[in-house]
Chains A and B, each alone.
Chain A
Amino acid sequence: MTSVAYARRVTEPTAEAAPRSASNGWWGMLILVATEATLFVVLLASYFYVRFKTSGGWPPEGIADPKLLRALVMTVILASSSVFVHVAESGIRRGRQRALVLGLAAAFLLGLVFLGLQTWETVVVARDFTPRTDAYGSLFFTITGAHSAHLVAGLLLVAWIQLRAWFGAYSARRHLGVQMAAIYWHFVVAVQLAIFVTLYLTPRL
């Protein structure tokens, strides 16, 4: 560390010892989330574009308004998983391995439950309309499908971090992997909130 200490002395004599700016991995994950979030913004914007170009009702003739209850339960379940991810992350920051492992496990299970409900929802909705019915159906299934794909990626990521946590890979000082997984997970949850508002609430406005 002599070299860094030397450079510190040159550029900033009063610096403290720990790194002050966020790590490369944190920045990398943030940029990945930024570009993926833009992807969903574009998808939802396409939904509104087609909606406002459509004369007549929305959803179009012959398709019932989306059912709120199951989607609401799903959204609440997924949103609560974010809390557990936060527990895991803030736990490991203080070196609490149990909080890390249990928090991640809870989030993983809630994510799995959501995915199960989403599959059920898809099957039920598909009795009413399919992606081939019209543009509304295509957008509905593309948006929810894209979200499910991202959720699967998030589940794999959390499972991986969980596995590494069992082997004691993380500590109060070194837990970048947990931080990155948390950013991604919160993003997947935020997208679900946007989807719930767009696909389920706005048609009733």
Chain B
Amino acid sequence: MEAHVERLEKVWAEPGGIVTFLTTVDHKKIGIRYLFTAFAFFIAAGLEALTMRAQLARPREDLVSPETFDQLFSLHGTTMIFLFVTPMLSGFGNYLVPLMIGARDMAFPRLNAFSYWVFLASGLFMYSSVPFGLAPNDGWFNYVPLSEKAFTPDHNIDFYALGLIFLTISTTAGAANFIVTILKLRAPGMSINRMPLFCWAVLTTSFAVVFALPSLTVANTMLELERKWGFHFFQSAHGGDPLLWQHLFWIFGHPDVYIIFLPAVGIVSSIVPVFSRRSIVAYEWVALATVLTGIVGFGVWVHHMFATGLPQISMTFFSAASFMIVIPSGIQIFAWIATVLSGRPVLKTPFLYVLGFIVVFVIGGLTGVMFAAVPFDQQTTDSYFVVAHFHYVLFGGAVFPILAGIHYWLPKMSGRMYNELAGQVSFWLVFVGFNLTFFPMHVSGLLGMPRRVYTYPDGLGWDAYNLLSTIGAFVLAAGILVIVLNVLWTLRRGAPAPADPWGGNTLEWSTSSPPQHFNFPVIPIVRSADPNWDVDDRRQDALRLERGELVLADGHQTLATTVLEGEADEELHMPSESIWPFVLALAFSVVFVGLLLDLHGLAIFGCVLVAGAIAGWHRPQRELQDQ
């Protein structure tokens, strides 16, 4: 047994240092990078939000100028959606999916490294606008005609549009990687109906990315063609139509809500059974509801446009579709509640965040049902009621599960236990702070306060609610600060974590904490949807390790299985470290900087670099490559 493990250690060892930093393809390192980088953007977006709340604390405040305020809310929304929540969940997916399905890496390890570098580069690209005072300033959905050259002549919108096109490369490559990994690399015996619900969520989300993001890319490309080369798509004076932007944006934008929400739901479905000490109720229904939400999410985009004067018939259709989406969400909520009620719940920090999620998300869901009714929507759209609603569904629906996931998987990732008391304190600060911030916004919205105003006169009855929101925002920030300090403390001082501190049901808990580079000394064989609770199967794994069966130690090897049944199919040789993903991301950065600054020569030079980097990446090598 030792001999096998030693051999694996030798095969998978990385030299370390700066070279490994730039060349590693280890999905766990890449996953943790995603998490750290995305969290850094979360802190930035949080500081932007605090500045806005400080400005709105009382009437006629003049902490920031109206122009700065425009940039603050645009950057806050763009960051939260594109640079925090989506990549944060990619980070969890990267780290967890191979571990949960019993694989040793992602299907395309180098593409995975490339996705991260492009995410980092595009994030820095967008944020490089801040020091110049040129941050995006037309809101996160960037409606035309305001974002046309005539009305926003400076580079603000170019940072937004080109940055998002750049980021799309990362997100799409990541999604393709997740799909192939989940379809092909599951442990033998893990048929698709035994797959962890988190993987169902990631799979659905990835398909949604593949079909939703092109719409965003087309919209932003058209906008840049208009702004830089004088094309016409959105200008009615030249035969275009400004509503085309809204359609294209929301055809992407609403599926994106589920791209954000579903992986978060997957985290919840991972945590609920473990802390209820039983399998999840109605596994098949939850999996089906996940897929159904992803599909129906493509048919509801017009409910963002109920106030734009569309024909009654299309509004009725989209209103009905929006009501319909309640059904799969309801199935999931009831499955979780049934699991909690019929189990023996253990109230640790991750589970507290999950319970907080259920409460907050149900409130957000209720106001969501109200918006599906066209007349109500037309009265309250673009008011603070909308701001309250989408923070309840997005902060409640995505950030609470993310915070739960941070506490739940931190012992696995770091090998150390966090401080439970600090964890619980952070939960109550976040929960109280969140509700104090966003619940009053329902009221100020109904009282008529429009979103995105940089200040307001007194005497409108909004003062108290705004002050409460501002106080809440700072309480919430204190909660986040406690989490950051707790994580830092854990990394330095936390007690060593056992392999399976929670009694988890999925395969990541069968590895050491933190997992070895090759994840599993022996490829596990799975016979149920809760494989880590099948004690006998895991004992069989250990016996097979001693016999040297399914150890696969001749290079970076893992096992491919069939798509549906999960039957062992072939041994795969995975690619190892490479500098090319980093170089290719750098080459793309040159292209986008060239486009941004109208330096066409630089952009063309960048394209040549891109082609060169792709050729370098794929140049034939003597060793056997993954086919």
Contact = CB atoms under 8 A, between A and B. Distances in A.
Q: How many of chain B's residues touch chain A, expressed as a range?
A: 35 or more
B391 interface: no
A149 to B, nearest CB: 10
A135 B237 CA distance: 10
A15 B565 CA distance: 13
Contacts of B572: 24
Interface string B215-252: 10110011001100111110100111100100110010
Contacts, number: 159
Nearest to B572: A24
Interface in B601-627: 611, 615, 618, 620, 626-627
A31 B210 CA distance: 7
A7 B566 CA distance: 11
Which residue of B214, B552, B560 has the most chain A CB atoms within 10 A of its CB atom?
B214
Interface in A1-46: 1-4, 6-8, 10-12, 15, 19-21, 23-25, 27-28, 31-32, 34-36, 38-39, 41-43, 46
Interface stretch (A48-56, A84-92, A112-120, A191-199): A48-56
A19 B248 contact: no
B188 interface: yes
B627 A135 contact: no
Given A43-B218, A50-B240, A4 B567 contact: no
B251 to A, nearest CB: 7
Contact of B225 (A2, A53, A138, A164): A138
Contacts of B61: none
B593 to A, nearest CB: 20
Interface in A135-149: 135-139, 141-142
Interface stretch (B40-48, B179-187, B312-320, B461-469): B179-187
B549 interface: yes
A34 B567 CA distance: 26
Contact of A20 (B188, B221, B251, B562): B562
Contacts of A39: 214, 217-218
Nearest to B252: A42
Contacts of A42: 214-215, 218, 248, 251
Contacts of B225: 131, 138, 142
B376 to A, nearest CB: 28
Contacts of A21: 184, 560-563, 569
B189 A54 contact: no
A45 B214 CA distance: 12
Contact of B620 (A135, A141, A164): A164
A162 to B, nearest CB: 14
Contact of A8 (B214, B566, B567): B567
B231 A4 contact: no
B34 interface: no
Nearest to B178: A31
A34 B210 contact: yes
Nearest to B241: A53
Nearest to A145: B225
Given A50-B241, A134-B232, A134-B239, A28 B107 contact: yes
Given A49-B244, A135-B233, A38 B210 contact: yes
A24 B626 contact: yes
A77 interface: no
Contacts of A36: 214
A12 B567 contact: yes
Contacts of B550: 3-4, 6-7
A27 B184 contact: yes
B157 interface: no
Interface in B167-198: 172, 175-176, 179-180, 183-184, 188-189
Contact of B549 (A2, A32, A35): A2
B431 interface: no
B164 interface: no
Given A4-B569, A11-B525, 16 more contacts: A3-B550, A6-B550, A15-B567, A21-B561, A27-B107, A28-B180, A39-B217, A42-B218, A42-B248, A46-B218, A46-B233, A134-B232, A134-B239, A136-B239, A160-B618, A167-B620
10 contacts: A3-B549, A11-B565, A20-B562, A27-B179, A28-B107, A28-B176, A42-B215, A60-B239, A135-B241, A138-B233
Interface of B: 107-108, 111, 172, 175-176, 179-180, 183-184, 188-189, 210-211, 213-215, 217-218, 221-222, 225-226, 229-233, 235, 238-241, 244, 247-248, 251, 523, 525, 544, 549-552, 559-563, 565-572, 611, 615, 618, 620, 626-627
